[in-house]
Amino acid sequence: MNWGNKILIAFIVFGTGMTFLVIRSMQTNFDLVEKDYYKKEIGYQEIIDGTKRANALTSTAEFSKHENVIRLKLPPEMKNKTVTGEIWFYCAYDEKKDKKIELKVTADGLQEFQQNIISPGNYTVKINWTAGGKNYYAEKPLTVF
């Protein structure tokens, strides 16, 4: 085999490799965290302020698992207050597993969920709540089996 054939084979291998990479890259799914990501980014200062307020409380929001129940406990300062908000079970690797739930805590600052409302996996739980006219925000990791 002479040098001309070797160059031709090198070009064919290079062209085939590039074609494979282009086809493969076009089939890759790039999901954003949220559909209206850029619009939400403008209001990100509210999340920063809410995180600072939540961190200034005596304790943080906590999740615990008991058999088939997931329990959310808000800090003691939230007891006997009207609390409204949202809990987002965010699964980074599968958008179909995401779940948003309205926050409905008791007077003691507790809320329970049946574990079967979310699929097994690793989640970042984003809790956004309002109490006493102030906005609070916290993120917690959660693994569901």
The domain ranges of the chain are 1-30, 37-144
Q: Is the pTM of this model over 0.85?
A: no
Say which CATH class 37-144 falls into. mainly beta
Cβ(53)–Cβ(65) under 8 Å? no
Cβ(89)–Cβ(111) under 8 Å? no
Q: What is the pLDDT of residues 115-126, one digit of tens each?
A: 999 999 999 999
Calpha distance 4→73 (Å, rounded): 73
Q: What is the pLDDT of residues 37-51, one digit of tens each?
A: 777 788 889 999 999
Q: What is the pLDDT of residues 75-118, one digit of tens each?
A: 999 999 999 999 999 998 888 899 999 999 999 999 999 999 99
